[in-house]
Structure 1
Amino acid sequence: MALAAGLKKAKAIERCLLGANRITDVGLAELVRAISPDVLVLDLSQNKITQEINLANNLLKVSSADALFRNARYSKHLRRLNLSKNKLTPACLDALADMVEKSPTLEQLYIGTNYLSGKAGERIFGLLAGNKVLRVLDYSLNQLGDSGELGCAKAIAECFRTNRALQHVDISFNNFGKEASEIIAEGIEPNKHIYGFHYRGNYGWVNSKGFLVLEEKQETLLDSIEQQRMNGFDVTVIR
């Protein structure tokens, strides 16, 4: 894409306004990779984004992430958004929360391996409690258990008790301690809709019936176990 090539060479751009330019999924990926981290405003509204955006492992800046979340908020077609491994922080929380609350079609959201805190998790899971669309959520390898842990755990528990759409959830490696895990366990116990629940790297473990067992299990360190990667309703083991 010529535009992407030009953006790679451009310097001192602070506002990148690309709304209503018939940009497709593939073009969007190229553009985001090309845009300078110094860009403060990125507008990608009213483009031809269809069912899936995969921008995993691109080290997105806040402005780019904000634009993607806001684009997804208004998309009538987007069903799958993957922003794993992008150093997302609570700075993009408002746009993320707006998308989670209002997206009419998003069924799969992958935001694993980022820097989203417990406070961010509390807000997102609070909104998910009433969400009727999202079915797959990867929120693994963030910082949900490091700041605002108990508030986040309570929001997760309430989400599990009331949400009827979620079917596959990964919150592994978020450093949840015993007290937070007790709260989450109470929420997941009555849930009859989630059939895939991943909790490694926290206090406790999930048994074959999908219940959270509140005792430490050996080999929960990140570098000592096989890693799992969610892909829709399936799980791939990474050795």
Structure 2
Amino acid sequence: MSSTHVGITRTRSTLQPREARKSQFNDWDLIRRSNVDCGYKKVLRFRSAIYPAVKSRAMTLTPAKVSRRPKGTLSASLLDSGDRNSSLSGSIDHFDPDQFFKGEFDFDAEEPEEPPLYPHLVHKPGTYAQEMYLKACRLQGITRSARCYKMLAGEAVVLPRQGLGPDDVKACAIALAETMNIHTLDFTENMIGTKGAEYIALLITENNFIKNLNLADNNLGPDAVKLIADSVKKTDSLSSISLAGNGLSGTRCVAVKSLIEDSLNLKVLDLSNNDLGDVGVDIVAESLAFNDTIERLDLGNNQVTNITKLAQTLSKNTGLVQLNLSSNGLHVSGCRDLARALEKNTTLRELNLAKNRIDRACLNNLFGGLKKNAFLRVLKIDFNPLNSEDAMHVLTFITENPAIGLSHIYMDSIDVQANFVQTLNTLKQAREITITYGKIIGTDLGIHDLDEALVLEATDFVVFEELSRVIGLDIENFVKGSQFVCAVLYADGLFVYT
């Protein structure tokens, strides 16, 4: 009768080449913690197989107990005596607690370790996210970012202008897949591309603790933005996202339509510097009509001149609190549309109209809507073609309409006359209001020593403005009064001919 020997054949694991490991890594297997076989889990599995108590202790939150003994107690000679039990009992009978705690203690089986020969090369274990990041970089064969590694232990990963590529973003996304403490990601002005946007989209789907995402100035394009928008719709955990400077001009802005219409928790959306134009802003306005959760919308620097549809949406929208339309070309028609919207809107609190070619005619149209609005608090109209008389016109309007809700007006670029300051101080006694303005014309007649670099970079407008301040005369209004002014600057003086 023959006996059959049954055995288990074990094969030695061979190291896979980097190409094979990289191809497996591209399958996104490491995005979940359950698929990661880290060193800690291996050690815990080995120890739990030998010592069952380790496994039970690992499942609890109580720390392991460390046995301690006083030096010189229970010596080897005592344990080597004939009757071990009697010797031990005798030592316990004569045990003095006061003397016990006065002695010096050492830990069992603990010996001092020698310091490493090269301490600067010894890796100090970090958080789980940091260890995952190092492993991801090693598997992809890329150089780790010391800044990224450091920030993985905090609450925000801010990496603007670091030259990150898709592989770098992938390693960071894998490390962040299961973290719960990081809530902000900032990849401003990097080179993540469409592939990097795909990894971020997967990360958003996996991690519901990320609330703020900044992908500004990455030139993502509509395809990459659509990937981000689809992932936001699935999880709906983001509250703030910046897609500024990503080439969403014209009809390419359709990529953010679903992001606006279907998101329920998105509160801040930045679409500035995208050259949206009138077509792109119309698409945003149509989408905004179906959204009442977005509170802050940035449409600055988008070459917008016609905001008719946006004004129509604004008159019905009940969620928008801050609207930035700076660095566009609204002019008279745009201010007229805004005035109609402000007559009906009751939720908007801040409106930014800086750098929009706003003059006296634009102000008159805008004031027509503000007369019937008691909810707008902040108005920014700086860096527009407005002069000291226009600034006084603003004060007159506020004085004559005490029911308006404006409390902060920004006119930092507008120089004013001395009577403007006096009128403002009188107005402050009647109501609470803050108005910022430029210089006071004619109060400083001294010639300041300017930096040579600033003088060389000065434009004609800067020289013209400095001339008005020095001589205490508003030359622009003087020219409008059908007077001809010729200012000739010599090395030894200043002469003005009229």
The TM-score with structure 1 as length reference comes to 0.68
How far, CA to CA, are the matches of 2:188 and 2:385 in structure 1? 44
Q: Is the 8 A contact 2:188 2:218 kept in 1?
A: no
Over residues 168-220 of structure 1, what are the superposed CA-to-partner deviations in whole Å (9 max), with x where a residue is unaligned?
1111122123223212221122222101011122243577974899xx7428x
Whether 1:22 and 2:165 are equivalent positions in the alignment is no
| Alpha-carbon distance change, 181 to 27 in structure 1, aligned in 2, over 3 angstroms | closer
Match of 1:84 in 2: 244
Match of 1:35 in 2: 192
| Cα distance between partner residues in 1 of 2:188 and 2:329 | 35
Q: Decide whether aligned partners of structure 1 residues 217 and 75 sit closer, same or farther in structure 2, where only a CA change above 3 A counts.
A: farther
Report the CA distance between 1:54 and its aligned residue: 1.4
Q: Mapping of 1:96-135 within 5 angstroms?
A: 96-135=256-295
Given the alignment, which residue of 126, 129, 138 partners 2:298? 138
What's the counterpart of residue 218 of structure 1? 386
* Distance (whole Å) between structure 2 residues aligned to residue 189 and residue 212 of structure 1: 18
Matched, 1:177 2:331: yes
Q: How many residues align?
A: 205
**Dislocated runs of 4+, deviation >6 Å:** 23-28, 206-209
CA distance in 1, matches of 2:316, 2:291: 9
**What runs of 5+ residues in structure 1 fail to find an aligned partner?**
11-17, 227-239
Partners of 1:9 and 1:72 in 2: CA distance: 20
Greater helix proportion? 2
Q: Contact (CA 8 Å) 1:42, 1:63: kept in 2 or not?
A: no
Higher share of residues assigned strand: 1
**In 2, Cα distance between equivalents of 1:132 and 1:195:** 15
Tell which structure's C-alpha radius of gyration is larger: 2
5 Å-filtered alignment, 1:178-193, equals: 178-193=332-347
TM-superposed CA distance for 1:23, in Å, is 7.6
Deviation of 1:140 after TM superposition, in Å, equals 0.8
Tell me, in whole angstroms, the C-alpha distance in 2 between the residues paired with 1:120 and 1:189.
25
Quickly say closer, same or farther: Cα 1:28–1:165, change in 2 above 3 A.
closer
Q: Say if 1:62 and 1:91, in contact at 8 Å, map to a contact too.
A: no
Q: Distance in 2 between matches of 1:28 and 1:137?
A: 19
* TM-superposed deviation, 1:9: 8.3
Answer yes or no: is 1:73 the counterpart of 2:237. Answer: no
What SS is found at the alignment partner of 1:137?
strand
Stretches of structure 2 lacking an aligned partner (at least 5 in a row):
1-132, 144-163, 168-172, 388-411, 415-498
Q: Which residue of 2 aligns with 1:159?
A: 313
- TM-score in terms of structure 2 length: 0.35
- Residues 156 and 8 of structure 1: is their aligned pair in 2 closer, same or farther, counting only changes over 3 Å? closer
Q: Deviations over 1:30-79 (max 9, x none)?
A: 69945346x59936242315211012233333332222222223332110
Q: Report the counterpart of residue 234 of structure 1 in structure 2.
A: none
**Cα deviation code 1:106-143 (max 9, x no counterpart):** 01111112211211111211221231211111111112
Cα RMSD, aligned residues only: 3.8
Is the Cα–Cα contact under 8 Å of residues 130 and 162 in structure 1 kept in the other structure?
Answer: no
- Is 2:368 the counterpart of 1:200? no
Quick one: structure 1 residues 73 and 91, their matched pair in 2 at CA, closer, same or farther if it must change by over 3 Å? farther
Separation of aligned partners in 2, 1:110 and 1:166: 13
Distance (whole Å) between structure 2 residues aligned to residue 180 and residue 31 of structure 1: 31
Determine the C-alpha separation between the residues in 1 that align with 2:166 and 2:310.
44
User: How far apart in 2 are the matches of 1:9 and 1:23?
Assistant: 20
SS of the residue aligned with 1:101?
A: helix
SS of 1:42 mapped into structure 2: helix
Q: For residues 109 and 124 of structure 1, do their structure 2 counterparts lie closer, same or farther at Cα, with a shift above 3 Å needed?
A: same
Distance in 1 of aligned mates of 2:287 and 2:317: 10
- Contact 1:85–1:111 (Cα < 8 Å) also in 2: yes
| Aligned-partner Cα distance in 2 for 1:85–1:41 | 15
